[in-house]
Chain A
Amino acid sequence: MLRDITLGQYYQTDSVIHKLDPRVKLVATIAFIISLFVVDSWIGYAVAAVFLAIMIKLSKVPFRFMVKGMKAIVMILMITVVFNLFLTPGEPLVTFWKLTITKEGARIAVMMAVRLSFLIVGSSLMTLTTTPNSLTDGMEKLMGPLKYVKVPVHEVAMMMSIALRFIPILLEETDKIMKAQIARGADFESGNLIKKAKAMVPLLVPLFISAFRRANDLAMAMEARCYRGGEHRTKMKPLQYHAADRVAYLVLFLYFSGCVAMRVWL
């Protein structure tokens, strides 16, 4: 059933990481990504790996879920590695035919591969442990100061959460329209790419019309319930930092300053 799909890739379980404030996790993810580009020594990567491993352990999310995220970037990863491996000038290590692998090339290629895969695993750790909803909340709160430079932070967050709510509904609708068209002889399966794309038109037009109608209805329902943007609005579930969040910030600070220190002194 389409309505049973889980959005994003949230993994439901009860762990320290799951309970952290979404803001902490957002900041931590960004800090971790920056730290990957700050460190440039093998010890540095070892520290990052240990840090990441501890976080994965704490999150109680099975490791194979993290690897799933890697599949999407396998191509990019390979291209990066190949280009760095063969095209970096320096002291030749191995030469066969016209290709030369240099010492520097090998070093950079491995580093890039490690960086990219840590980056993906690190950010999927965040999406695996945070519901899309609280992620939106966290972003809204973190970007709060941007309001003063006229960025519609609340509105963007509201749009994101409404989009999330309507994805399963629209998927179900797509399914319904598709079945209705198939029943009348439409063919979505056979033919080449262009033919398949053309077959999508009778699916997309009714879908768009219905999405607009829904949007219109929803806007009216929101207005009827006194929605008038972010001002004067209170929160049912306001974000509040707890002791665990402070500890998390401290750990993060130690890790990050460690990375910077290694860059400077090692």
Chain B
Amino acid sequence: MGIIKTDKLTFEYIRRDEEGNVEGITRAVDEVDLDVKQGDFIAILGHNGSGKSTLAKHINAILYPTEGTVWVDGMDTQDEARLWDIRREAGMVFQNPDNQIIGQVVEEDVGFGPENMGVPTKEIWERVEESLKAVGMYEYRKHSPNKLSGGQKQRVSIAGVIAMHPKCIILDEPTAMLDPNGRREVIRAVRALNDVEGITVVLITHYMEEIVHADMVYVMDRGQIAMEGTPREIFSRVEELQELRLDVPQVTLLAHELKKKGVNLPDGILTIEELVSALVGLKGA
């Protein structure tokens, strides 16, 4: 069993009127089976309302399944006795950087998680230093979070999670409120965590270009997993992606159109470099 496993995970939002009678039931997540191996970089893709955030909140035991089961490192998230162990092992970074920073100074915010876990003072400082260095925010440790850019704030949030020494990190659209520069910063920091520290990453996003480096991609639609595979496999199914209202990266789209017109290109081109070398290869042949 992998670090994160879900079995027929189903979650329903129940809408009630003022008297508390059930008005309607929305199935946000519908029988999802996931199995994430330790050290993997997983991306979950989907447009708004596809249920990807709801799924993410189950891994951190913020929401509990209506039906089915979620295991984090072998622990059932419905087991209340293990709640804090689960939250420590599966850290979570949210969308809005302002609404998840608690401290008034960067280093205090990063220390918040370890403080809650009861880590001794001396070790808190070591953890804060190492996590701020891991995301490249060490020189800002004395700053007020209010004066940082969005990308920097989000990196501080990531550091706050790493300081808890989790086995996996779930990032729920961490770049949705950032400008392109901030997005690059954050994605670079996340990739470094996965490559260098070997932390399992679950990245939830609707930007296709962020999933290029993932080991495995799941595309969600109406609460269900609509597609799964490596980024290359996913990107080679351009028509399906467009049906799911996802924006395919321009390079991939261009390669796809060229291929349709009869140019002999491989499937699922992800980067500009790949397309260039494929085209150059064609000319030589």
Contacts and interface: CB of A to CB of B under 8 A. Distances in A.
Contact of A225 (B99, B113, B119, B120): B113
B279 to A, nearest CB: 46
Interface string B94-127: 1010111111110110011111111111001100
Interface of B: 60, 62, 84, 87-88, 91-92, 94, 96, 98-105, 107-108, 111-121, 124-125, 128, 145-147, 160-161, 164
B92 to A, nearest CB: 4
28 contacts: A3-B146, A133-B104, A169-B98, A214-B96, A214-B98, A214-B99, A217-B96, A217-B100, A218-B100, A220-B94, A221-B102, A222-B102, A222-B112, A223-B62, A224-B87, A224-B91, A224-B92, A225-B102, A225-B160, A225-B161, A227-B112, A234-B118, A234-B120, A234-B124, A236-B107, A236-B111, A236-B114, A236-B128
B250 to A, nearest CB: 33
Task: Decide if the interface of chain A is mainly helix, strand, loop or mixed.
Answer: helix
A145 B105 CA distance: 28
Contacts of B87: 223-226
Nearest to A219: B99
A218 B147 CA distance: 19
- Most chain B C-beta atoms within 10 Å of own C-beta, residue among A169, A218, A224, A225: A225
Size bracket of the A interface: 20 to 34
Contact of B113 (A164, A214, A226): A226
Query: Looking at A217, A218, A221, A237, which has the most chain B CB atoms within 10 Å of its CB?
Result: A221
A165 B88 contact: no
Contacts of A161: 104
Contacts of A3: 146-147
Given A164-B104, A234-B124, A221 B113 contact: no
Interface in A154-173: 161-162, 164-165, 168-169
Interface of A: 3, 133, 161-162, 164-165, 168-169, 214, 217-218, 220-228, 232-238
Contacts of A232: 118
Given A214-B98, A232-B118, A234-B114, 12 more contacts: A217-B96, A220-B94, A221-B99, A224-B60, A226-B116, A227-B116, A233-B116, A234-B119, A234-B124, A235-B115, A236-B115, A236-B121
A221 to B, nearest CB: 4
Contacts of B121: 234-238
Contact of A220 (B62, B104, B117): B62
A226 B117 contact: yes
A235 B164 CA distance: 14
A149 B25 CA distance: 45
Contacts of A165: 101-104, 145
A225 B62 contact: no
Give 10 nearest A-B pairs by CB, closest first.
A221-B100, A217-B99, A236-B111, A226-B116, A224-B92, A225-B113, A232-B118, A236-B124, A227-B116, A214-B99
B116 A228 contact: yes
Q: Which of A226, A228, A234, A237 has the most CB of B within 10 A?
A: A226
A218 B133 CA distance: 25
Contacts of A233: 115-116, 118
Contacts of A235: 115, 121
Contact of A168 (B99, B116, B146): B146
Contacts of B101: 165
A222 B62 CA distance: 11
Nearest to B63: A220
